[in-house]
A and B are shown apart, each in its own frame.
Chain A
């Protein structure tokens, strides 16, 4: 029996589409040829070897039940209609074409938007600014139901009403986003370095102009990040991942779940690191990156320079170092209601330094 005939009969046999005549022929061939028999046995073993089951069915069903509850109130009837016969080939071609067109236009678009010209084309209507000063936090609910909690010294630029095909906001500083899911209208956050495209989700963005790095931490859902100077790189974050973008470096390191695996990337661009978020206690759901939304200033093995920058925003003060060596001190702790002096005194317990308060400036020496 030729190889093609063997493939045909084996295929029919495995898929249970074999006629009894063909089956007899197949059995005869196998009986006469040991190598075919061996091959069919291996094929059949592979065929029966089914791939792994997906585990979280119970949780998935809970989600469905809650979705149904939510929708039964709002829209009692929605129809899903399978696409009519005969259109599918076109759909495939269309899908391929759309990929190309959208890919090109995205590149073009992402360039223009970051230059600030793209606003009018996507969203008409007035824009609003929300600024928070030091010690100040603010929660904004946008017209689409998205909740944004703005940390101190941050500003958010958002439209009074979303009208275009995409929902866009501009952020400087730190904010926690709980984006209302709407597949029809992707949500995009522009920051100095990154553009974050949201696929329905909750996450934290930190992008202060004076900080050496920008961070995005994803709590749930999925988001896609593009960097201004590397528009072709799309970094997709999965839950519990954190992306740190360093300013003004030229190499790429991709770090995943604390395991380092340097990527080979010779092209110049911003350095970024993908890591997991910091759980405060293993059994605890509290997450360092979002602790500020619960009015806590939490730091874990953080250097004094970074901590001072956060304390400046937290307490609305200015902290100046007279001795650069002290910037390297590392601290771990949590502030909730402490005053600035209590906070500094607590730090002095572990490291040797002095401080002096003059008006709203604090000198560390």
Chain B
């Protein structure tokens, strides 16, 4: 994940200085998925998220000459996507319900994936649901750190909150996971088989 950062900066320079279209394509492939998923956390609809993210990429390319100075293009794109998402919510707020406080709403999580079958599917499903049930900001913080390997500082910059808050939100998510694990272990006497052991 850390390599991604080095790559994106390198590609960014190629894009801005050399108008390198191949670099732009690579840059797009590295970030597109993460940005779309990030955007969905705000706008809740995949089609809209795709639209917003693609517009941001388009604007980046068209405006590349003015963006040479950017030192962390990854963060820049996340912030841009966030801003566009908020604009979208403002404009089309008739359609959306913004989740402000914790609810127990169940999101559909597609768990069909042959690999998941052999892993601890049920537990993962429960943990996914626990995360889905967190307040929006907490969920976003967790996702950016877990899926995109971001540092507190970067997340703080993207969301315009303090690194301290990022940490608090992360701990909150992990605490919830820990509760799920404890409950799960109580119901299942046999010790849990993790997917891979680390350290």
Binding site for B on A (CB under 8 A): 3-4, 6-8, 10-12, 14-17, 27, 38-39, 41-54, 57, 60-61, 63-64, 67-68, 71-72, 75-80, 82-83, 85-86, 88-89, 91-92, 94-96, 98-99, 102-103, 106, 183-184, 186, 197, 199-200, 221-222, 224, 234, 236, 238
CB <8 Å contact, A64 and B194: no
CB of B92 within 8 Å of the partner chain? yes
Contact with A along B55-83 (1 / 0, CB 8 A): 11111111100100000000010011001
B9 interface residue (CB < 8 Å to A) = no
CA distance A238 to B113 in the complex (A): 24
Q: How far is the CB of A362 from chain B (nearest CB, A)?
A: 45
The reply to whether A64 and B90 form a contact with Cβ atoms under 8 Å apart is: no
Chain B residues whose C-beta falls within 8 Å of the C-beta of A75 in the assembled complex: 62
A82/B58 in contact, CB under 8 A: no
* B interface with A by C-beta (< 8 Å): 25, 28-29, 32-33, 36-37, 45, 47-48, 50-51, 54-63, 66, 76, 79-80, 83-84, 86, 88-98, 100, 110, 113, 119-120, 123-124, 127-128, 145-147, 149, 151-152, 159-161, 167, 170-171, 174-175, 177-178, 181-182, 185, 191-192, 194-199
In the bound complex, residues from chain B placing their C-beta under 8 Å from that of A39 are: 178, 181-182
Q: Return chain B residues, CB-CB under 8 Å to A43.
A: 174, 177-178, 181
With both chains docked as a complex, state the minimum distance between the C-beta of A195 and any C-beta of chain B, in angstroms. Answer: 11
Asked if B58 contacts A67 (CB within 8 A), the reply is yes
> Taking chain A's interface residues, is the majority helix, strand, or loop, or is none over half, making it mixed?
helix
Report yes or no: A11 in contact with B171, Cβ–Cβ below 8 A. Answer: yes
A-B contact sample (17 more), CB < 8 A, given A12-B167, A14-B146? A8-B171, A15-B152, A43-B177, A44-B194, A45-B194, A57-B32, A67-B54, A77-B62, A78-B59, A79-B63, A95-B86, A98-B93, A99-B96, A103-B93, A106-B94, A222-B45, A236-B95
* Min C-beta distance of A87 to chain B, whole Å: 8
Task: Judge whether A95 and B83 touch: CB under 8 Å.
Answer: no
Q: A41-B194, A54-B37 are in contact. Are A49 and B62 (CB under 8 A)?
A: no
Q: Which residues of B contact A67 (CB under 8 A)?
A: 54-55, 58
Known A54-B36, A76-B62, A82-B76; contact A11-B123, beta-carbon cutoff 8 A = no
Given A82-B79, A95-B98, verify A48-B93 contact (CB < 8 Å).
Answer: no
Q: How far is the CA of A10 from the CA of B60 in the complex (A)?
A: 37
Instruction: Say whether B63 contacts A88, CB under 8 Å.
Output: no
Find out whether the CB atom of A49 lies under 8 angstroms from the CB atom of B45: no
